Structures are given as C-alpha cells and as structure tokens.
Amino acid sequence: MTTNGSTDPRFPALGFGLGLRVDHYEDLLADTQTSQPTRVDWLEVLSENYMIPGGRPLDYLARLSEHYPLVMHGVSMSIGSTDPLDRDYLKQLKQLAASVQPAWISDHLCWTGVDGTNLHDLMPLPYTEEALIHVCARVGQVQEILGRRILLENVSSYVAFHESQMSEWEFLAELTKRADCLLLLDINNVFVSGSNHGFDPHAFLAGIPVERVQQFHLAGHSYEGGLIIDTHDATIVDPVWQLYAHAVRRFGDVSTMIERDDHVPPLDTLLTELDYARAIAAPILDKAAA
C-alpha cells in the first residue's frame, strides 16, 4: 500500500490543529472570514458524532470542510477485541469518509468490549505475540475495507496484563511494521501511562519508528486516587510540553493537535495553547532543517 508513490508510508503533514467541538463551530467559521490563513490549520472530527445522516452537525461539517482539512478519529473500532469486527460500523465509517474526504482515519489500539458487551472504555491489550498476530490480521481487514492505511493511537492505561511479553512501544513498533499501518502518538497518554506503570516516557518514544508516526495528540490530565487520569479537561502541563519537545526532536514535522473534551474553553484560549505548541516546535524544526 502506498500513499504518495514514495517509500515513506505517511500522508503529508497538516500543521497544527484542534479537535472539532460543537462550542467552536461558529467561531471557526467566523475565523475563515477574518483570518487568512485561518488560525487553525486542520480539524480532527470525532467520527461517531457524525454518523447519523442529515442534521446540523453534518451541515456544519460540510461548511467547515470548505476551509479546513479534516481528519476522522473514532472510538468504536475495538481493533483488539476477540469479537468479530463490526462490519456495519466499518460501512458507516467508510460512508462518512466518502463525504468528509478526511486526510486520514484513526482509532485506538484497544478493545472496548467482548462477548457483545460494550465496556464504554478503551482497554489496553496484553502485549503478546498472540495478540500481535490477532491485531495485525484485523488491521489488515479494516484497511482492506476502508481502502487506506489507518492510524492507531496509544491509549492511556491504568492496568496491565501479567501475560505481556513485550513493552507497549515494542508492540506498537512491530504492529505498524507487520500491518503496514500508522501511529497516532498521544504524548499525554505516553506521560500518563509512564507515570502509572513506572516506565520512562523517553524509552517509549525511542522505541517508536519515526516513519510510522503520522499525528500527535496533546491534552491535559488530572490526578485521582494516586493515578493520573487522561481526562482531557485541563490545560497541558509542563512535563507533557517537555515530552512534546522531545518528540518533535525525534519525529520531526508531525501534525499536532490539542484534544479538549470537558471544560471546553473559548476558541481563543485553545488557540493560545496551540500557538505554544507552534512556538516549541518551530525552533526545533528550523534547527533540523538547517
């Protein structure tokens, strides 16, 4: 599977984006009238929010797509489950992609249920050869159905399996190579999981192949009962910004976006945070280019 005829499997980078949230529909459209280029380079759309035909959300999406490149991000693929792949869901995903024309489609390396029960959570996998073979086969089926490479995101986790035979990053590196897929590297999730499980986030990043990283997520988190929880409800903390700088040094010009799902602030507040990401990345990328 090739993307642009070169040996690099990645899609072209898009710059600095935001997760599209209802609160910002009007402001993002207004921005297209006053700022050229717009202050947000691209938008990440939560796929499941737009799978119901018709209505205002799809109307907004169509209008926004005239001005912003879009990517689709889902939570329902359950690529790691032992339940059969949900063909109806994948059909809807493909239909949405046909209308949105996203630059790429992502979901998570996780399972969300088993035996027909949905846990409504993104659960980590045991990092075993057996799981790797299982997930690679399913990624192959999904990519065949969608007709494109997909991105899988590293989840934040609070539990681990005794059965694991390799680290999460070794699993991800092997998965992307064998299944010929790409990674959505969530920098905050690396930090959160590292803190909860006691691994070095830098070792995680060092183990990920550069040519497989298509996108970064940045987000805030909170502390609860001795654990760090990936709540997406706060500003990004300094250690995550430092890890982001390290990631830019290692992976280069990777499309970066901020996720905020709760306590969503005004667009201008998020744009200030996005400009902070730009300010961190610019000198590192300039130095690398020189």
The residue within the footprint of Fe ion, chosen from 79, 127, 186, 251 (CB under 5 A), is 186
Count of other CB atoms within 10 angstroms of residue 162: 5
Stretch that binds Fe ion, among 46-54, 87-95, 181-189, 234-242 (CB under 5 A): 181-189
Stretch that binds Fe ion, among 32-40, 144-152, 183-191, 269-277 (CB under 5 A): 183-191
Length of the chain, in residues:
290
Stretch that binds Fe ion, among 98-106, 202-210, 211-219, 242-250 (CB under 5 A): 211-219
Interface mask toward Fe ion for 42-71; x: CB under 5 A: ------------------------------
Minimum CB distance to Fe ion smaller for 20 or for 31: 20
Provide, rounded to whole angstroms, the least separation between the CB of residue 217 and Fe ion.
Answer: 4
Q: Letter for the amino acid at 252?
A: G
Over its C-alpha atoms, the chain yields an Rg (Å, rounded) of: 18
Half-sphere exposure of 212 (CA within 13 A, CB side): 24
Burial category of 246 from C-beta neighbours within 10 Å (exposed 0-12, middle 13-18, buried 19 and up): middle
Minimum CB distance to Fe ion smaller for 31 or for 171: 171
Distance, in Å, from the CA atom of 200 to the CA atom of 203, rounded to the nearest integer, reads 5
Minimum CB distance to Fe ion smaller for 10 or for 217: 217
Q: Using the rule CB under 5 A, is 31 a contact of Fe ion?
A: no
Backbone torsions φ then ψ of 286, nearest 5 degrees = -60, -45
Provide, rounded to whole angstroms, the least separation between the CB of residue 87 and Fe ion.
Answer: 26
Provide, rounded to whole angstroms, the least separation between the CB of residue 199 and Fe ion.
Answer: 18
Q: Check if the beta carbon of residue 231 is closer than 8 Å to that of residue 264.
A: no
Stretch that binds Fe ion, among 7-15, 116-124, 169-177, 216-224 (CB under 5 A): 216-224
Stretch that binds Fe ion, among 4-12, 20-28, 199-207, 212-220 (CB under 5 A): 212-220
Q: Using the rule CB under 5 A, is 41 a contact of Fe ion?
A: no
Q: Report DSSP letters for 108-143, one per residue.
A: ESSEEEETTEEEEEEEPPP-SHHHHHHHHHHHHHHH
Minimum CB distance to Fe ion smaller for 212 or for 217: 217
Distance, in Å, from the CA atom of 108 to the CA atom of 81, rounded to the nearest integer, reads 12
Per-residue exposure over 127-151, b if at least 16 CB sit within 10 Å of its own CB, e if not: beeebbebbbebbeebbeeeebbbb
Provide, rounded to whole angstroms, the least separation between the CB of residue 184 and Fe ion.
Answer: 7
Minimum CB distance to Fe ion smaller for 81 or for 156: 156
Q: Using the rule CB under 5 A, is 217 a contact of Fe ion?
A: yes
Residues 156-175 that bind Fe ion (CB under 5 A): none
Structure tokens at 37: 């280029």
Provide, rounded to whole angstroms, the least separation between the CB of residue 192 and Fe ion.
Answer: 10
The residues of the shown chain that bind Fe ion, judged by CB under 5 A, are 186, 217
